[in-house]
Amino acid sequence: MRYNHILFDLDGTLTDPGVGITKSVQYALHKFGIEEECDALKWFIGPPLQVSFRERYGFAEEQVEQAIRYYREYFSEHGIFENELYPAMKETLETLIHAGCKLHVATSKPTVFAERILIHFDIMECFHSVTGSFLDGARSDKSEIIAHVLREQGISTADAIMIGDRKHDLIGATNNQIASIGVTYGYGSVEELSACNPTVIVDTVQALEAWLLEASSGEVVGKGISNRA
């Protein structure tokens, strides 16, 4: 089985954005008189901000919009760069390109921020396309984002695989009838990922590369959990 098009989530998959995102959420909540420790806000990493502010704090729509504006006050200047590329990730991307794969980013983060991050880490040129949400919150659902990538790039479902660390990535893949890889080095638990029945689960960037290279070689790759500790 060969996947010529590989879709990557950004936060928790390509980079570790934990510090920047949690500090940005903390800043926004402080504006509402809500004090939280950053460690308690890690579950914000992955889902759309609109969903997280609404479900966790019961914010009405106007409050959600204001919270996101506050979030971006900090994030656009500071939090966006309080971020780290996962070790060996750039080398893995280059290896996959050399193997003939086309790489894409499919993220719920606004495209404008995603592109700034990719440029900052000098990996923008690794990607054939970058698709995120709009600043007004439109196209923030991962299923919709993946569908946009497939449609705009003319990719068949049999030719694509989605990689992510949260259930939203895997559910989005399933809703678009494409294969998926759950990565446990990000912010989703094994239980969360397993419940979504991905094609495979891997623990490290190295294991991710090895599995994708086997798949890109045309070998039949089994479904299940791979490279588990």
Dist. CA 4–CA 225, nearest whole Å: 22
CB 168 within 8 A of CB 144: no
Question: One of 9, 11, 165, 169 is an active-site residue; which one?
Answer: 9
Query: At 107, is the secondary structure helix, strand, or coil?
Result: strand
The amino acid occupying position 157 is T
The amino acid occupying position 181 is I
Dist. CA 8–CA 165, nearest whole Å: 10
CB 203 within 8 A of CB 227: yes
Q: How many other C-beta atoms can be found within 10 angstroms of the C-beta atom of residue 201?
A: 23
Tokens read off for 145: 């984002």
Backbone angles phi, psi at 132, to 5 degrees: -135, -160
- Decide if 9 is catalytic: yes
Backbone angles phi, psi at 218, to 5 degrees: 95, 0
> Which of 215, 130, 141, 201 is CA-nearest to residue 165?
201
Dist. CA 39–CA 120, nearest whole Å: 25
Backbone angles phi, psi at 179, to 5 degrees: -70, 165
Catalytic residues: 9
